[in-house]
Amino acid sequence: TYVIAQPCIDVKDKSCVDECPVDCIYEGERSLYIHPDECIDCGACEPVCPVEAIFYEDDVPEEWADYYTYNVEFFDEL
Ligand code: SF4
Ligand code: F3S
């Protein structure tokens, strides 16, 4: 799955939402989140984010590693 990390917070540009072919990017209060089971790993969202907030799960920078969990937890709480 792809993961949205810290740069999205309070930016919420949403260019990624328009690119996603399966509509698996959902809006939270301060950030958007990618549904880990619905994402098909196409990578289309990653290059369009103006603040480079989106990473493949294995490529999330270490300082933002917790964002994988934050994405998963967002959907657990729904
Ligand atoms: Fe959607 Fe593809 Fe991005 Fe996954 S990688 S969130 S399927 S655009
Ligand atoms: Fe956030 Fe970037 Fe999408 S700022 S809403 S991850 S385009």
68 Cα: distance to centroid of ligand 2 (angstroms): 15
Whole-number pLDDT of residue 17: 98
Task: Evaluate if pTM is beyond 0.90.
Answer: yes
Cα–Cα distance between 53 and 56 in angstroms, integer?
A: 10
Task: Write out residues in the chain with pLDDT < 70, as ranges.
Answer: 78
70 Cα: distance to centroid of ligand 2 (angstroms): 15
Whole-number pLDDT of residue 77: 76
Cα–Cα distance between 6 and 67 in angstroms, integer?
A: 7
Q: What angle do CA 61, 73, 56 make, to 5 degrees?
A: 30
Mutate to test the pocket of ligand 2, among 2, 3, 15, 56 (most ligand atoms within 8 A of CB): 15
User: What is the SS3 assignment for 32?
Assistant: strand
